[in-house]
């Protein structure tokens, strides 16, 4: 991995000749229960990018540390930006890099709340700017927010920041105003949920399910990341091999 912020412009010019793919790690600063740090998603994105660089040469931008997290706003310390600002900021970063000749980008996203906006950014870049961009999660499928799996990942990444003595197994609430909930839905509809609708601790996963961060282990975190990162590395390798013209949309008829 080469961090763009740690090289000179002349180094970047030389690197551009042989590395055509850029990773953009994206995280958040938001509550992760009473036991995990606010920067969990950012730290995860940074760590996953580090694991990727051990397998393949890529260029990495500085991490984006704040995302779309206003649904956690009742929990102190959470920061957020609007979807509009988030999209425009990320698009501007990519366009500035593209002005130097790079055309392949992979967002490595540590926060699920960012996903919809990142998809919109990728669609706009590909269709309107002839830039290929895609989104890969910085995490595998997990059991919930600040649950066993996410806590396990943090125990693997930054164990000194995890307060396991504060971890609280939480049963997610099952209704909103008497309407049954499933995940973050009032069946069969989606709504703009707030975390406090689901859980008083900030730990949640599925309605009626007990989310158990107390069962987290570093070993589980390592296994989750190792298995998943291999998939992302394979994607990066394929992107590097692909011709940009084959990644862009076909001409409109």
Average the pLDDT over 57-67 and give the result: 96
What pLDDT, on a 0 to 100 scale, did the predictor assign at position 58? 93
Average the pLDDT over 43-59 and give the result: 95
183 pLDDT above the threshold of 90 = no
Does the residue 202 lie in any domain? no
Confidence of residue 101 (pLDDT cuts 50, 70, 90): very high
Does the residue 228 lie in any domain? yes
Q: Give the C-alpha distances (Å, rounded to integers) separating 9 from 24, 195, 236.
A: 18, 43, 24
Indicate which CATH number applies to the domain containing 11: 3.40.50.10310
Average the pLDDT over 124-133 and give the result: 97
Does the residue 17 lie in any domain? yes
What pLDDT, on a 0 to 100 scale, did the predictor assign at position 186? 93
What pLDDT, on a 0 to 100 scale, did the predictor assign at position 237? 96
Does the residue 114 lie in any domain? yes
Task: Write the DSSP assignment of 152-200 as a string of letters.
Answer: HHHHHH-GGG--GGG---EEPP-EETTEEEETTEETTEE----GGGT-S
What pLDDT, on a 0 to 100 scale, did the predictor assign at position 251? 86
What domain range includes position 82? 2-140+224-247
Mean predicted lDDT score pLDDT of the chain = 96
Domain count, the chain: 1
1 pLDDT above the threshold of 80 = no
Q: Quick one: what percent of the chain has pLDDT higher than 90?
A: 96
What pLDDT, on a 0 to 100 scale, did the predictor assign at position 228? 95
What pLDDT, on a 0 to 100 scale, did the predictor assign at position 150? 98
241: Cβ contacts below 8 Å, ≥ 6 apart: none
Does the residue 211 lie in any domain? no
Task: Calculate helix-pair angle for 218-241, 148-157, nearest 10 degrees.
Answer: 80
Does the residue 84 lie in any domain? yes
Average the pLDDT over 173-196 and give the result: 93
- Give 204-224 pLDDT, tens digit per residue: 999 999 999 999 999 999 999
Does the residue 107 lie in any domain? yes
Does the residue 166 lie in any domain? no
- Entry pTM: 0.96
Total H helices, total E strands in the chain: 7, 11
Strands (DSSP E) found in the chain: 2-3, 21-26, 59-60, 104-109, 132-137, 170-171, 175-176, 179-182, 185-186, 189-190, 210-211
């Amino acid at each position: 991995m080469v961090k763009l912020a740690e090289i000179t412009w002349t180094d970047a010019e030389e690197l551009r000749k042989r590395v055509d793919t850029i990773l953009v790690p994206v995280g958040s600063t938001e509550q992760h229960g009473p036991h995990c740090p606010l920067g969990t998603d950012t730290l995860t994105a940074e760590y996953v990018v580090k694991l990727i660089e051990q397998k393949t040469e890529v260029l990495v931008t500085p991490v984006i540390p704040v995302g779309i997290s206003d649904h956690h706003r009742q929990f102190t310390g959470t920061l957020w930006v609007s979807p509009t600002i988030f999209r425009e900021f990320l698009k501007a970063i990519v366009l500035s890099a593209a002005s130097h000749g790079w055309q392949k980008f992979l967002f490595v996203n540590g926060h699920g709340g960012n996903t919809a906006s990142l998809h919109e950014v990728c669609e706009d870049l590909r269709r309107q700017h002839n830039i290929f961009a895609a989104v890969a999660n910085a995490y595998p499928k997990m059991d919930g927010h600040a649950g066993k799996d996410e806590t396990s990942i943090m125990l693997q990444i930054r164990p000194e920041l995890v307060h396991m003595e504060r971890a609280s197994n939480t049963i997610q609430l099952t209704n909103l105003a008497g309407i049954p909930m499933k995940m973050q839905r009032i069946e069969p509809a989606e709504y703009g949920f707030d975390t406090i609708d689901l859980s008083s601790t900030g730990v949640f996963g599925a309605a009626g399910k007990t989310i158990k961060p107390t069962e987290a282990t570093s070993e589980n975190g390592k296994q989750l990341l190792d298995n998943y990162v291999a998939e992302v590395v394979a994607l990066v390798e394929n992107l590097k091999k692909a011709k940009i013209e084959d990644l862009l949309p076909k001409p409109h008829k």
